[in-house]
Structure 1
Amino acid sequence: MNKPYNIILILMLIMNVVIGGALFHQTSLLTEYKSKINNLELKVEDLDGVIKERIVPGLREVSNKDDWITRNTYTKNGKVILEVMEDPSLRAGKSFGYIFSFSEPFETFNRKELAIYAYHKETGDKITVVPPKIITNPSSGYPSLERFIAFFKIPISGLWRFEAEIDGEFYADVILLVKE
């Protein structure tokens, strides 16, 4: 009677070893799959970042160039990054002062070239209102470019799109109505 009991114990021990080996193998497969899933999640996050940082702003830039609705702010990711305060008596043919209020940190602009161009809706004319210049200091009394002041004359009345560029790349734009 002792022998069948020993055989049963040996069989149970062999089954435990086999099951343990199978469980160990499954655990290693699960770890490998988890690692692959984590890598895929990182790649998806990178893709999300690319979509948010490059593709969506590019689409917004294209759509803004066809959108000629008067607005003095530009919003990116739900946050106003540029606001232009123009003289209420703004008229064509006369020099006026404009305050370009950039809300991003100074590091966004430091040692980069800023230029502002204006495009007339009707004629397509382009004028340089702020020639390209390297930014090395924030606005006087401010930590960034909250009060970037420019004086210039718009030659003809109508809708004008003022486009700010950083290092030759689109940054933001506003649409202003210049009266006659």
Structure 2
Amino acid sequence: MTSKNDRNEAAAPKPDWYAGLRHSPFAGSFGENNRRHVIGRLHGRGSEGVNGFRRIKRYAAAGAAAVLLLVAVADPAGWREGPNAGIGNGNERETRNLYTAKNVKLVEAFPGGDYTAGNPAGCWWNVYEPFESLQDRTIRIEAVHRGTGYTMEELAETKLSEAGQAYGGFTRIPTRFALPLPGVWTFTVFLDGERYGDVAFDVPDHPWQVSPTFRGGAYELRGVQGRLGFIDAGFRAGRANKYMWHFWGRPDELRGELTIRAVRQGTSRIEELFAAPDTGSALNGADAAVPAMLTLPEPGLWRLMAFVGGRLYGSVVVEAEPSAGTDR
């Protein structure tokens, strides 16, 4: 349902830069190297790369298309309504991409592509203050899943001089929109540790289909070609096995602790499966590779999610077969 605020935003005149959000900033002559440079620039400080941008079909507040990168957390105490969020209407799934105070725009977010759980999509964050007045300050973006309280950082605290860029009369920050669970996520922006504003998005689930295979050197890998995959030895519920994970990306994208987590179709419980201090070294044509001993506790479809440096790097869907002598 479209709220009054949504209708007002949709009817308001759009600035000149708005039309450009309908197209991926990584298309055409921008080039893959430059795309990965922008993505990798923030990874070591809390943002991560993306697989690519697709045309957006949903735009939570204005009903218009928009693109770029996103992922993250809000107040652990729970959802806090902003001044334009329809306070007291009891709608727990209300979302918005714009935060205002006294009818002044403060923060606006534009996630890219047909964003879904488990897949990086990216987001532009517009902070409506001149870059010159913000460059000596720090920014941090947190996110919380309203249904479970699961929290994570969209952007670790970093200087705006390193994370942001001047754009007209405001400041633009790219991050990754990579969230492990479907549902409503609330994102809170902090400047110099002080809460500045919040937005919320309803993230749909990704189709639960076993990920395809592709060639990696002499081996067949299951996953996302050019991003991540592993040599699939098959999965049986409750039985441990070793899987060689492979990753492609810039060195700064792949820097940090590796954690493999998993969620089973139809649930929102995230299982911790494996952790390593890093993503390993080059192997089979991949930029990094590391063996991981994994056990899925129940049969069914599982989304295996690789986190690097605390950020979701990508996911692979597999099916765990029942253990011998048990039913599915």
TM-score of the pair, normalised by structure 2: 0.33
Does residue 90 in structure 1 map to residue 115 in structure 2? yes
CA RMSD between the two structures = 2.5
Structure 1 residue 155: Cα displacement: 0.5
Residue of 79, 86, 102 corresponding to 1:77: 102
Gap change, CA 1:129 and 1:62, over 3 Å in 2: closer
Match of 1:134 in 2: 159
Gap change, CA 1:141 and 1:121, over 3 Å in 2: closer
For residues 72 and 169 of structure 1, what CA distance do their matches in structure 2 show? 20
Report the secondary structure of 1:96's partner residue: coil
Structure 1 residue 106: Cα displacement: 2.5
Letter of the structure 2 residue corresponding to residue 139 of structure 1: Q
Letter of the structure 1 residue corresponding to residue 98 of structure 2: T
For residues 160 and 106 of structure 1, what CA distance do their matches in structure 2 show? 27
Structure 1 residue 144: Cα displacement: 3.7
Residue of 195, 206, 213 corresponding to 1:170: 195
Identity across the alignment (%): 26
For residues 165 and 197 of structure 2, what CA distance do their matches in structure 1 show? 18
For residues 79 and 66 of structure 1, what CA distance do their matches in structure 2 show? 16
More helix by share: 1
C-alpha contact (below 8 Å) 2:131/2:166 kept by paired residues: no
Structure 1 residue 109: Cα displacement: 2.0
Letter of the structure 2 residue corresponding to residue 75 of structure 1: T
Match of 2:185 in 1: 160
Match of 2:175 in 1: 150
For residues 163 and 99 of structure 1, what CA distance do their matches in structure 2 show? 14
1:18-97 matches, within 5 Å, as 62-64=80-82, 68=92, 69-97=94-122
Match of 1:32 in 2: none
Structure 1 residue 125: Cα displacement: 1.2
Letter of the structure 1 residue corresponding to residue 165 of structure 2: S
Gap change, CA 1:160 and 1:66, over 3 Å in 2: farther
Structure 1 residue 143: Cα displacement: 5.1
Letter of the structure 1 residue corresponding to residue 118 of structure 2: G
Gap change, CA 1:71 and 1:118, over 3 Å in 2: same
- Please tell me whether Structure 1 or Structure 2 has the larger radius of gyration of its CA atoms: 1
Report the secondary structure of 1:95's partner residue: coil
More strand by share: 2
Match of 1:111 in 2: 136
Letter of the structure 2 residue corresponding to residue 157 of structure 1: P
C-alpha contact (below 8 Å) 2:186/2:199 kept by paired residues: yes
Report the secondary structure of 2:176's partner residue: strand
- CA shift digits 1:14-57 (9 cap, x unpaired): xxxxxxxxxxxxxxxxxxxxxxxxxxxxxxxxxxxxxxxxxxxx
Does residue 124 in structure 1 map to residue 161 in structure 2? no
Structure 1 residue 114: Cα displacement: 0.3
